[in-house]
Amino acid sequence: MAGIKEHDYLKICAALASCLSISIAAAGKKIDLEAAKQGARDLSSRKEIAEAMLKEARELSVSDESSTTRQLDNLLEALAEEENFLVED
């Protein structure tokens, strides 16, 4: 299927991609798969599905302790014994 060129739809796809830390194409594919499951074919119903997916992803990222941003923060945090560690070439 050719890409949808509607500006509002693309903004929702970009916001979903950012929230899930995936590419815009992958977010669009997730929306397409969900729309196919629900039998949605027109643009307005796809936008509704995308908005619902975005809302759900935002709620999960706020409430979920294992969100990707928190995981990255934990990985980047230096341990006390490693703070002054220096690697030589």
Q: Is the dihedral of CA 73, 55, 23, 64 positive or negative?
A: positive
What are the sequence ranges of the domains in the chain? 7-77
Please tell me whether the overall predicted TM-score, pTM, comes out greater than 0.85 for this model: no
Which pLDDT score, from 0 to 100, does residue 52 have? 94
| Of 49 and 86, the one with more pLDDT | 49
Which pLDDT score, from 0 to 100, does residue 68 have? 66
Residue 85 pLDDT more than 60? yes
4-40 residues labelled b (16+ CB within 10 A) or e (exposed): eeeeebeebbebbbebbeeeeeebbebbbeebeeeeb
Query: pLDDT tens across 27-54, in order?
Result: 999 999 999 999 988 888 999 999 999 9
